[in-house]
Amino acid sequence: MGTPVAVIGGGSFGTCLAMLCAREHDVRLWARDAAVVEGINRDRRNPRYLTQAEIPSAVQATSDLAEALSGAELVILSVPSHSIREVMLRALPAVSEEAILVSTIKGIEFETGMTMHQVLRDVLPEPHHPRIACLSGPSFAKEIAQQKNTVVTVACEEPAYAISVQSTLSCPWFRCYSHDDVVGVELGGALKNVVAIAVGMADGMEAGDNTRAALMTRGLAEITRLGVQMGANPLTFLGLSGMGDLVLTCAGDLSRNRRVGLELGRGRKLDDILADMGEVAEGVRTTRAICRLAERLEVEMPIAEMVRSVLDAELTPAQAGLKLMTRPLGAEHEY
């Protein structure tokens, strides 16, 4: 087997990528949950996530970060956005300076407004910075685990490292494209979850196909507007990590964020919805973080603000929809 790969995070996406890498590498998967570690090592099953997937023997789980990271030249990060800073501060002594770190996390840090790439640069010493990459695109973990054809983007400021990750992960049913627009790729992956909540709310209210199409299109305009302000290439948002991920997350039945929106649109309370899910819906935290960031950067994001107002119980979904539809009129390309 090739050089060991470390996967940090034992949720759905960490588990499916550990399975993917186990084709040609020994994989050490770190998880906080002792039941997840025991289940993988004993039963070849993750007892909490992707429970039907058989995990190859090349994957060994551990709750020891140093053990997971020892000798790893590729480190895949797949923990919730709100815990990445704490986990990486603990992991730092064990991370090799030669390791490429790949964030698969689709979120924004609430306290700082930082993307995951920015958080990692904030935590890790400068020698690590060129080797920080991100992976994003239309990819449900369940379908990756089932080896259904999936296409994603790997972005890194140093193209050689993106190409290295691309070569390691790609196989006949999982195809990676390389990219150098880290800001655009990360923002597309994070902000599509906000739009998916909005679309879910509309679907939950049976608002119709016209409404869904309008929210997706205008949502992409908001994502692009913020992205350009932060230095992204606007064309990035027409690619896999932009339009591709947006379409999947807004339309796919496996989308957790769309599910949150559906239940809100049907009149359920947010706390009850999240309590029933058992998995993180990153869009809830991202909505609040991105509205703060957009205000600071003076970027208008009315759909995101509408979603926030519903999450914070300031408006009902119907009231928020009416507020969007009665905003002052303007030209599409300027507004």
Phi, psi (degrees; rounded to nearest 5) at 47: -75, -10
CATH of the domain at 193: 1.10.1040.10
Please give the Cα distance from 148 to 163 (Å, whole number). 22
Are 278 and 200 in the same domain? yes
Are 241 and 313 in the same domain? yes
> What pTM did the predictor assign?
0.94
Of the candidates 199, 208, 204, 73, which has an alpha carbon nearest to the alpha carbon of residue 128?
73
Mean predicted confidence (pLDDT) in 5-12? 96
CATH of the domain at 21: 3.40.50.720
Are 98 and 247 in the same domain? no
Per-residue pLDDT tens over the stretch 20-30: 999 999 999 99
The one-character DSSP state at 115 is B
Q: Are 27 and 2 in contact (CB under 8 A)?
A: no
Are 72 and 191 in the same domain? no
Mean predicted confidence (pLDDT) in 186-200? 97
pLDDT band at 335 (very low <50, low <70, confident <90, very high): low
Are 171 and 233 in the same domain? no
**Edge-to-edge strand list for the sheet holding 132-136:** 59-62, 25-30, 2-8, 74-77, 100-103, 132-136, 150-156, 174-179
pLDDT at residue 242 is higher than 70: yes
Structural tokens at position 38: 């025991």
Are 167 and 199 in the same domain? no
Domain range for 138: 2-180
Please give the Cα distance from 206 to 216 (Å, whole number). 16
Catalytic choice (142, 148, 192, 323): 192
Please give the Cα distance from 36 to 278 (Å, whole number). 14
First to last CA, the chain: 53
Mean predicted confidence (pLDDT) in 178-192? 96
Counting residues of the chain whose pLDDT is more than 70, the rounded percentage is 99
Is-catalytic flag, 192? yes
Structural tokens at position 308: 């926030």
Q: Tell which of 165, 180, 195 closes a domain.
A: 180
What is the structure's pLDDT at 333? Answer: 81
pLDDT at residue 280 is higher than 80: no
Are 153 and 228 in the same domain? no
Counting residues of the chain whose pLDDT is more than 90, the rounded percentage is 93
What is the structure's pLDDT at 284? Answer: 92
What is the structure's pLDDT at 113? Answer: 92
What single letter denotes the amino acid at residue 140?
F
What single letter denotes the amino acid at residue 223?
I
Domain total in the chain = 2
Are 128 and 276 in the same domain? no
Are 284 and 295 in the same domain? yes
Are 28 and 83 in the same domain? yes
What is the structure's pLDDT at 3? Answer: 81
What is the structure's pLDDT at 139? Answer: 96
pLDDT at residue 168 is higher than 70: yes
What is the structure's pLDDT at 2? Answer: 67
List, in sequence order, every beta strand (DSSP E) within 9-131: 25-30, 59-62, 74-77, 100-103
Are 250 and 194 in the same domain? yes
Mean predicted confidence (pLDDT) in 133-144? 97
pLDDT at residue 1 is higher than 70: no
Residue 235, judged by CB atoms within 10 A of its CB (0-12, 13-18, 19+), counts as exposed
Q: Tell which of 157, 180, 203 closes a domain.
A: 180
Per-residue pLDDT tens over the stretch 322-332: 999 999 999 98
Are 84 and 221 in the same domain? no
Mean predicted confidence (pLDDT) in 144-172? 96
Q: Tell which of 151, 180, 209 closes a domain.
A: 180
What is the structure's pLDDT at 225? Answer: 96
Name the pairing type of β-strands 100-103 and 132-136: parallel
What is the structure's pLDDT at 277? Answer: 83
